[in-house]
Structure 1
């Protein structure tokens, strides 16, 4: 498809628009397409390769917008021409409310602090309410966050993912002074990033941003112990994942009295009796989502107490929790009546009896994630899937991931057999599709006939 054909083919443009108001008609959309063509006309040859590869799932460029309040989402293969395109969008649409940019890890190191700064200072971005920046090799620093707080004071959503290696408390102070309407903040650093964000900066941010309900800190914030979240009286979601310097007493002080619907403490830091943080410090009766993956200190009694007290618990992630034995999993199945999603991958003691307990007790279960250990026999999976056809079971192998939806037929040796022969899945090839996800083949299967599909 030639560049001229792309920008004259409205059916192709339909694929680029991911959201359009329900009351929009085709004539109105045609007008938007004309403005879209004029904005990108100078760059159509440069972005032809990207547009052709849109359906393959590779890095592409596409725009997501509403005729009145456009949302621009850019995922470039290379940065050449990106800034002029954003400037053209800013001149085309009267107001841009959402901007999402994902760069390659090998992207231009000068873009975040130099080029992108000039774009955010454009008057059309003054009403920006949502900003997401992901995967910049050089990352963002305190000066860039200060620019965000100055140019985008109406932000309610800010997500800086894999681009925060050099942030300090000054960055949070800038957000506290300029972005007081924030409701969602996610900062994800690097494993070895020299950022110096501490509890003092978190406390200052939460004291000023009184509407902040969702705070997520992931990876690399090694000066955070947990007490800083005590100032967040509006918090309903706290995510502190892979923070290796969390302290039990500090986190207990921070979570005291919080009415959290979601709590994630995934990581390796020892927190003592983890169930006390959930049951005694948080309001256990309102907790709906809980992630305690990797918590070696969680035992049978702690898991049973969480299941008893958290009556609304719908989502529970316990990946790699080896301290819970079969008795603990059975107790969870007996008491967690509202449980819908359960992740027990890499849990050594989750075996056939545990699967049977889930089948008999957890009537609301919809999704189950397990690992293909040798002691989990194929007969148990078949029995579970036949008895609970509404449950989607995802069985994860060390190298391959595949999904078992409704009933399934398995042949070959037991799952994860050391003898090297992997199982065969029987499904309808017409309704089976394969995509690549996170670099690994990922299969999703729908209702089937007995047709063999081998996993090589």
Structure 2
């Protein structure tokens, strides 16, 4: 009688068995059985993240983490050759040479996170661009990349969809333009605190670009028009605009090019006036969340236009708005029929009586006393 064992199964069956394991220790122990099972374990691994990597909400590398060496990274990339996601975030001392192995194992990579990789320069970015042509997501938060590195990415990684360049202080509109012109599948770009960005790099961007985070950039009125030029925006963060902006400078957002816009963050845009508020309220009918905290120049006419036109608005932030008074608050109470949350901390010109009337007539609306610093899909309150 012929005896069969599990070792007689073909590789595809062993791969199916490994993928069916739902217990972490079992999956980790699978490769300890023999060399063949170790190979099965290696080729089925799709993601790799090091202990020094940054968490989603903690962008500072832990002091207790041991920085990965180029040799160790090379060994791991040699072992796991079919990775689709790799996070090196927090590897602050990793040099460009540490990425050399990607030219042999980077073809399948779809997501690469390199937040705070301070040792990576344009040479490393160029190596990534040629080694990982199928990248869809790349995060270079606080990296020393310049326009030359972005141009290299734009030339080779045409399928990029999500690019995080926040706090990349060396990039300018030239690099952003290379991405927006060549990567026509772009969906999200973050350039927060990039002080050399005026916004003109987004001119002629694809309609697929739905998410732009440009907080604390030195945007110009012309740049605002270029940012909305793709007509596909659903999320826009322009918080912290310069004091030099005129009251009507944000009017183009409501000029018929942002009809899909759902989330708009204008926190600390202190000079935005009633003209821009009216234009946005009327021209963005799908707006669901709007942050106007510290927008001191919005006065009664602005609040009335929000109440009148923002029929889909669900969350409104009016924290510390100096010119939000009882009449303006009444306009919000009588309009905004879908409102479910109102953030009003520090709004000292609104009387307690007016707030109680709001609660009486709009009891389903939650009055929030805490300010939300970041709005949208990943907002956190403080």
TM-score by length of 1: 0.63
3-state SS of paired residue (2:21)? helix
1:276 aligns with 2:246: no
Q: 1:143 to 1:214 in 2, by over 3 A?
A: same
In structure 2, the partner of 1:158 is 138
Please say if residues 318 and 347 of structure 2, whose CA atoms lie closer than 8 Å, have aligned partners that are also in contact: no
Quick one: higher RCO (CA 8 Å, sep 6+), 1 or 2? 2
Shift of 1:26: 11
3-state SS of paired residue (1:319)? coil
Shift of 1:93: 5.5
Question: Which structure 2 segments of 5+ residues have no match?
Answer: 1-15, 33-42, 53-61, 373-378
3-state SS of paired residue (1:110)? coil
Between the aligned partners of 1:91 and 1:380, the Cα distance in structure 2 is 66
Please say if residues 158 and 182 of structure 2, whose CA atoms lie closer than 8 Å, have aligned partners that are also in contact: yes
Between the aligned partners of 2:329 and 2:292, the Cα distance in structure 1 is 15
Between the aligned partners of 1:284 and 1:251, the Cα distance in structure 2 is 12
Shift of 1:92: 6.7
What do the CA deviations read for 1:123-174 (whole angstroms, capped 9, x no partner)? 2x431211223345x364212222221232211111222x23x332101111
Question: Which structure 1 segments of 5+ residues have no match?
Answer: 1-22, 41-66, 402-436, 443-456
1:227 aligns with 2:194: no
What do the CA deviations read for 1:43-62 (whole angstroms, capped 9, x no partner)? xxxxxxxxxxxxxxxxxxxx
Between the aligned partners of 2:76 and 2:294, the Cα distance in structure 1 is 46
1:181 aligns with 2:159: yes
What do the CA deviations read for 1:86-125 (whole angstroms, capped 9, x no partner)? 677657766322233443xxxx64225454x2564562x4
In structure 1, the partner of 2:109 is 128
**Within-5 A mapping of 1:272-421:** 272=246, 273-280=248-255, 283-376=257-350, 384=358, 388=362, 390-396=364-370
**Within-5 A mapping of 1:59-138:** 70-76=46-52, 77=62, 78-80=64-66, 82=68, 95-103=82-90, 109-111=92-94, 113-115=96-98, 117=99, 120=102, 123=105, 125-136=106-117, 138=118
Between the aligned partners of 1:208 and 1:363, the Cα distance in structure 2 is 42
TM-score by length of 2: 0.74
1:260 aligns with 2:243: no
1:218 aligns with 2:192: yes
What do the CA deviations read for 1:235-283 (whole angstroms, capped 9, x no partner)? 2333322112x22134435644633222322233334323332123x51
What do the CA deviations read for 1:360-417 (whole angstroms, capped 9, x no partner)? 42232233323234445566556655655544443237xxx9xxxxxxxxxxxxxxxx
Count of aligned pairs: 340
Please say if residues 219 and 243 of structure 1, whose CA atoms lie closer than 8 Å, have aligned partners that are also in contact: yes
Please say if residues 221 and 243 of structure 1, whose CA atoms lie closer than 8 Å, have aligned partners that are also in contact: yes
Please say if residues 274 and 297 of structure 1, whose CA atoms lie closer than 8 Å, have aligned partners that are also in contact: no
Shift of 1:350: 2.8
3-state SS of paired residue (1:218)? coil
